[in-house]
Chain A
Amino acid sequence: MDFFDLRTAYLITALMYLIVPVATWSVLASERSRSASLWCAGSLLNGIATWMAIIPDPMSVLTYKLLIRVVMCLGILGRIQSLLLLGGQSMKARTILLIVLANVLFFEIQRFFFDERYTQVFAFLFHGLLYGWLSFIAFWLYRKGRGAGAILIGATYLIVNLLLLQIQTLIIRSDFSMDFLSPHPATIALAIVGVISAFMNHIGYVGMVLEGVRARELEAVAARARSEVTHRLGEQVAQLQRQKVLGEMSSTLAHELSQPLTVVLSSAQLARRGVASGQLDKAALGVLLQRVIGGSQRIAQIIDRIRTYIRPSTLTRKATNLGNVVADVVEMLVLDVDERKALLNLRLPPRPVWVTGDFVQLSQILLNVVRNALEAGAYLPGREPVLIELLQDGDQALVRVSDAGPGFTQEALEQASRSFFTTKPDGLGLGLPISSAIASQHGGTLTWHNAPQGGAVVELRLPILQTPEQDTE
């Protein structure tokens, strides 16, 4: 065993514990959390303490030995705290202080009451306990799923601990004829393990950090995937709601389609009769055919609007005139308004109000809101008009729908933005949540409150597009 100098081995360990933490710390770069700093600092202190323990004592023995113990203790405690932080827990500063004090006290008591020779043993006993705790925490981290690096750390310190125990036992049994620097398989093993542990621990720590980074990335990807699914589902729900509304308005559609169809059928049948009886001249026939064509085109328009409304919306962003949106929605609700004997009061500005958005989705918002207003008005014996205003409020476009119904209840004010909250007997409770979502997607807001004079007010605010280029709606 002559080629193996224990002192040199410990020297190398000390060197490793000085260099490797610094290297690790610089490598961790963007992942330098408090935990990492503590780990590297703790290891550094360990290196310093080991170094101090090996070189000849420059000052008085007692103070020096005390200093070594304190530094060593802090080194281990630093690493313990670092691992605790990784696991989401923390030791209080008080506790750390207490342990250091206990160490000092223990040292003083032991020195006072016991032999000088026991110093080393007691020191390593104390530190052995701390190392035991450290490896316990490392295994705890592994069970928490922090990765294989934790096992590496835990195993290393466990071995260190076992070796320390072994050596202490040997020292006591040999009646203090040996110490840590006496050549012996156990002490040699400790020296070798000490060297290896220097970089094994840091590899293990970096491994855990990498594992943490990977877990965060996975979570980010999962979160992105979830939000995409939510977004897509949201789009589908919005489309389904449009289809539902359209279904409810099917009698409106039947009525709308029946008008031009009547013109087409009657004109064509008249043409046939007239031609058969020879009473129709070319000019009159031309007029009738023109009516057939006009009626058919009108039907095509209506069908086109239905198709646009129920198709899955790929959010098209075009310059849209809100005035047109309001007018279109009012037209769709003509039959609804008639049947309820309601009145719609429109206040539109003379010039167009441009926003960037999707025509169909914006009309979906207004359709939901105005239908709600019409239903609210149903409670009234009189015929208070539903007021729809479009105005420019600073750099925002504002569409305000006011009714003179009973207004929102306190519960409704709080809950209306939640899905599936409804005050209608056959309602789904999706109109307002979907409309709010669409408004947000357009960079605007949908808000509602009660008017001071009674009745509900719903406001849609959207950022104004200053100058629309071509491709407008």
Chain B
Amino acid sequence: MTKMEYMRPVTVGDAARAERCARGTVAIVDDDPLILEALSALLSFEGYACDTFSCAQDYLDSLSDSVPRFPGPRCVLCDVHMPSMDGLALQACLASHPEITLVLMSGVSRVEQVISAFRAGASDFLLKPIDDELLFAAIAKALRASQQYEENSHVRAHFLARKASLNRRELEVIVMAAHGRLIREIADELGIAERTVKLYKQRASEKLGLKRARDLVRLVDQGLL
């Protein structure tokens, strides 16, 4: 995954925008311009950065252009029923952007659509007309999920970098220890002294920034070791 290029705010206008983006960027996609107007007004009032698009393709194009953005969580609020690409198709295209969460909205409630939307990982599904409290709750939840994902991915990246800094022996020892092997067993298997094993294990733990034995087990659960 490429690293994001983040802008630094320069002008006053930039600063305002940056503040909004930090709270959350909501991309609203609907073929009805009046709805775009009404919803973006409401969400802007709540302090979010709103970008409106009248078709899903426009939004996807905006993702792939290399304009750098201000940092912050991102989500999309999209109508299910649109000509050419509809909300569910957009959801499929966004699979490659797991850090962008999706809230769908619709004027009719087709059960199959709702089910498949949630199965494909939508954060929420709102029925029009949307009550403001419900809208804010759904957007907040979606942005929180986006935030969480970003944080998790940073943490992952950070850990993998640290793991790369271990040498071969340190890695072998800490992996075996993580899988519950005793120091004596590790020493026997690798053909080194127990004292050496203890040294390697301690060094690896420091490099990885592990504090408790529990952390080691958790790393195995997360598939990192």
Contact = CB atoms under 8 A, between A and B. Distances in A.
A204 to B, nearest CB: 77
B38 interface: yes
Contacts of B132: 265-266, 269-270, 273
Contact of B35 (A259, A288, A294, A339): A259
Contacts of A19: none
Given A270-B41, A270-B42, A274-B45, A258 B129 contact: yes
Nearest to B36: A263
Interface residues of B, number: 24
A255 B34 contact: no
Nearest to A284: B41
A179 interface: no
B129 A267 contact: no
A288 B128 contact: no
A441 interface: no
Nearest to B82: A338
Interface in B62-92: 81-83, 86
A258 B129 CA distance: 6
A266 B42 contact: yes
A255 B107 contact: yes
30 contacts: A251-B108, A254-B107, A254-B108, A255-B81, A256-B107, A257-B107, A258-B106, A258-B107, A258-B108, A258-B128, A259-B32, A259-B107, A261-B129, A262-B128, A262-B130, A263-B35, A263-B37, A264-B129, A265-B129, A266-B38, A266-B129, A266-B135, A269-B42, A269-B132, A291-B37, A295-B34, A337-B83, A338-B81, A338-B86, A339-B81
Interface string B89-109: 000000000000000001110
Nearest to A258: B107
The contact size tier of chain A is: 20 to 34
Contacts of A260: 34
A310 interface: no
Counting chain A CB atoms within 10 Å of each CB, which of B37, B41, B110 scores highest?
A: B41
B84 to A, nearest CB: 9
B131 interface: yes
B39 interface: yes
A102 to B, nearest CB: 90
A337 B129 CA distance: 22
Contacts of A269: 42, 131-132
Given A264-B129, A274-B45, 20 more contacts: A251-B108, A254-B107, A258-B127, A259-B34, A259-B128, A261-B129, A262-B35, A262-B107, A262-B128, A263-B35, A263-B38, A265-B129, A265-B131, A269-B132, A270-B41, A279-B45, A288-B41, A291-B34, A337-B83, A338-B82
Interface in B115-132: 127-132
Contacts of B110: 251
A335 interface: yes
A266 B83 CA distance: 24
A264 B82 CA distance: 21
A251 to B, nearest CB: 4
Interface of A is mostly: helix
A270 B127 CA distance: 18
Interface in A303-351: 335, 337-339
Contacts of A262: 35, 38-39, 107, 128-130
A85 B41 CA distance: 90
Given A251-B108, A258-B107, A273-B132, A266 B82 contact: no
A267 B42 CA distance: 7
B99 to A, nearest CB: 27
Interface string B38-59: 1101100100000000000000
A254 B108 CA distance: 6
A472 B110 CA distance: 40
A337 B84 CA distance: 11
Contacts of B129: 258, 261-262, 264-266
B39 A266 contact: yes
A267 to B, nearest CB: 5
A288 B130 CA distance: 16
A219 to B, nearest CB: 55
Contact of B130 (A265, A274, A279): A265
A209 B131 CA distance: 81
Counting chain B CB atoms within 10 Å of each CB, which of A259, A260, A338 scores highest?
A: A259
A270 B131 CA distance: 10
Nearest to A335: B81
A347 to B, nearest CB: 19
Contacts of A339: 81
A337 B82 CA distance: 10
Contact of A266 (B106, B107, B130): B130
A346 to B, nearest CB: 14
A287 B107 CA distance: 24
Interface string A84-124: 00000000000000000000000000000000000000000
B87 to A, nearest CB: 11
Nearest to B113: A339
Contacts of B37: 263, 291
Nearest to B39: A266
A243 to B, nearest CB: 20
A382 to B, nearest CB: 15
A281 B135 CA distance: 24
Contacts of B39: 262, 266
Nearest to A277: B45
A288 B131 CA distance: 16
A263 B86 CA distance: 20
A269 B131 CA distance: 8
A245 B41 CA distance: 37
A377 to B, nearest CB: 16
4 closest cross-chain pairs (CB), A and B: A258-B107, A255-B107, A258-B128, A269-B132
A231 B179 CA distance: 87
Contacts of B86: 338
Nearest to A255: B107
